[in-house]
Amino acid sequence: MSVDVHVIATSSLGDRSYLATDGQVAVVVDPQRDVDRVLALAGRVGARITHVVETHVHNDYVSGGLELARLTGAHYGVAAADQVPFQHLPLADGDVVEVSPALRLRVLATPGHTFHHLSYALESTGVVEGTADAAGAGGAWGVEGVFTGGSLLFGTTGRTDLLGAEHADTLARRQHASARKLSDLLPGGARIWPTHGFGSFCSATQASGDDSTLTRERQINPALRLAEDDFVTQTLAGLDAYPAYYAHMGAINLRGPAPVDLRRPALIGPDELRERLRAGEWVVDLRHRTAYVEAHLAGTISLGLDGPMATWLGWLIDRGAPLTLIGATPEDVAAAQRELVRIGIDQVAGAATGEPARLAADPAQVSSLPTATFAGLAAALTGDVPAGLPAPDVVLDVRLGNEWTDSHIDGAVHVPLPELAARAGDIPAGAVWVHCGSGYRATAAASLLARAGREVVLVNDAFAHAASAGLPMAA
């Protein structure tokens, strides 16, 4: 009987969940809150979910583990040391979770990303239950791979500062020891199945590749190549800011998340939209930025569904603030809701769908956003300003700290997007030409600046083009 591991990717948050099955029963690792995806997958592969396990108390999303266990009757395994208040299977280093006669998990304590982090070695036997050589009666168990959560990732490890900067050094040292433990205990052919590392801010650095084995990690992973002190120094030096909403995720997961509610919010009309915009509420336009720059309702914030909308909205908005969504279609609003409940934003005050001209109570509400490329910015800085655009008084870079340190335009002002509202006074007067790494964050920043009454031009271009456009660079 073969064992299959299915990936359930949540690319918008940079995470993966997993369903491992022997074809009859299944164990789910680190499920996201919208568990209907997991149930649908189990149905497609014809497996009954009997176990759900968490590698750690997550800081970047609300877990669906408790609800999935409730819905399926599965055992819900979490670290015994976390002492959660709901019914669960307490797990500790060395425990074995018997999923079926052909499938089991061996629990390995791997602190580092959190103090009580667990990894799970997936062990299987190809022997079918009921035969003379069945497991437990002579069948041999082998290691298929290991679910590493936020411990050993592809070419990196999970970050170690999410529980407070004061713990970062201690946890980095434990992370190094945990990676070595996995390397020492498991065979080189064991596959690595991490939860983080696909764009998640839980990753210490950008992960590399889409799959890996322990042999590959021994060759490329700093935790397995560097001495402890060198690893700690490199890891701590590379840590950058992480989303503000992370502060709420751990507490929600520790007390037990409420069941998800994906009922669509009430639809509102043009007059109500206008009043919410006048009140300064968050009204988020979910369309692609190319559509937004052409036409949008003045005062709306651009966070398109084509990018990590939930991450940036969750980082920028005050927790509990009224939120209205505008999508091209009802399906866009539903997709945004699904993204938002994953980070605990459950209440959407209202929604509207359609083109800006149809949603405007007054034609004067419809606005546009001037754009340029880095080549256009380079020309403008030498006095050759593209027609119809204001000369740049300020070049504003809204990328994060590590991006700025690596390389930036000489003379630019640096205010990372998450700090923009609090540091508006740091931006000099005049026309602001704003850029990021690709255009997504810059569009959000431009919409926030325009809402605040600033004259703004969006540099809708990849930062990789800045140097070749002739802009002076600094590092």
Question: Which run of H or of E encompasses 117?
Answer: none
- Candidates 369, 365, 264, 370; CA nearest to 324 is 264
Residue 139 has a pLDDT of: 64
In terms of DSSP bridges, do strands 394-397 and 371-372 run parallel, antiparallel, or are they unpaired? unpaired
If 0-12 CB within 10 Å is exposed, 13-18 middle and 19+ buried, where does residue 179 land? Answer: buried
Residue 383 zone, left/alpha/beta (φ > 0; ψ -120 to 50; rest): left
Length of the chain: 475
Residue 220 has a pLDDT of: 96
CB atoms within 10 A of CB 410: 10
- Candidates 95, 104, 78, 110; CA nearest to 184 is 110
Task: List CB contacts of 9: < 8 A, sequence separation 6 or more.
Answer: 15, 16, 198
Residue 75 has a pLDDT of: 98
Task: Report domain extents, the chain.
Answer: 4-255, 270-367, 371-474
Q: 451 in helix, strand or coil?
A: helix
Cβ atoms 211, 191 nearer than 8 A? yes
Residue 196 has a pLDDT of: 95
Q: 270 in helix, strand or coil?
A: helix
If 0-12 CB within 10 Å is exposed, 13-18 middle and 19+ buried, where does residue 352 land? Answer: buried
Q: Helix-strand-coil percent breakdown of the chain, rounded to 5?
A: 30, 25, 45
- Candidates 92, 83, 99; CA nearest to 18 is 99
Q: Classify domain 4-255 at the CATH class level.
A: alpha beta
Q: How far is CA 438 from CA 47, 283, 373, 374, 377, in A?
A: 42, 23, 11, 11, 15
Beta strands in 22-172, from DSSP E residues, in sequence order: 25-29, 48-53, 75-79, 89-91, 96-100, 103-109, 118-124, 142-149
Residue 470 has a pLDDT of: 96
Cβ atoms 171, 160 nearer than 8 A? yes
Which of the listed CATH numbers 3.40.250.10, 1.10.8.100, 3.40.50.740, 3.40.50.1440 matches domain 270-367?
A: 3.40.250.10
Token digits of residue 235: 């890891």
Residue 209 has a pLDDT of: 81
Cβ atoms 242, 162 nearer than 8 A? yes
Q: How many CA atoms lie within 13 A of 161 on its CB side?
A: 17
Cβ atoms 69, 26 nearer than 8 A? no
Residue 474 has a pLDDT of: 95
Helices (H) and strands (E) in the chain, counts: 15, 24
Rounded to an integer, what distance in angstroms lies between the CA atom of residue 415 and that of residue 123? 49
Which residue has 């720059």 as its token pair? 293
| The 103-109 sheet, strands edge to edge | 96-100, 103-109, 118-124, 142-149, 191-194
Where b means 16+ CB within 10 Å and e means fewer, 21-55 reads bbebbbbbbbbbbbbebbbebbeeeebebbbbbbb
pTM greater than 0.85:
yes
Cα-based angle 304, 306, 310 (whole degrees, multiple of 5): 60
Token digits of residue 325: 């969504």
Rounded to an integer, what distance in angstroms lies between the CA atom of residue 146 and that of residue 10? 19
User: Helix H segments across 186-303?
Assistant: 214-220, 222-225, 228-238, 246-255, 270-278, 289-294
Encode the chain (475 residues) as per-residue pLDDT tens digits.
Answer: 689 999 999 999 999 999 999 999 999 999 999 999 999 999 999 999 999 999 999 999 999 999 999 999 999 999 999 999 999 999 999 999 999 999 999 999 999 999 999 999 999 986 433 333 334 434 689 999 999 999 999 999 999 999 999 999 999 999 999 999 999 999 999 999 999 999 899 998 888 788 999 999 999 999 999 999 999 999 999 999 999 999 999 999 999 999 998 999 999 999 999 999 999 999 999 999 999 999 999 999 999 999 999 999 999 999 999 999 999 999 999 999 999 999 999 999 999 999 999 999 999 999 999 999 999 999 999 999 999 999 999 999 999 999 999 999 999 999 999 999 999 889 999 999 999 999 999 999 999 999 999 999 999 999 999 999 999 999 8
Domain 4-255 shares a fold with domain 270-367: no
DSSP characters for 215-237?
Answer: HHHHHH-HHHHS-HHHHHHHHHH
Which CATH architecture group holds 371-474?
Answer: 3-Layer(aba) Sandwich (3.40)
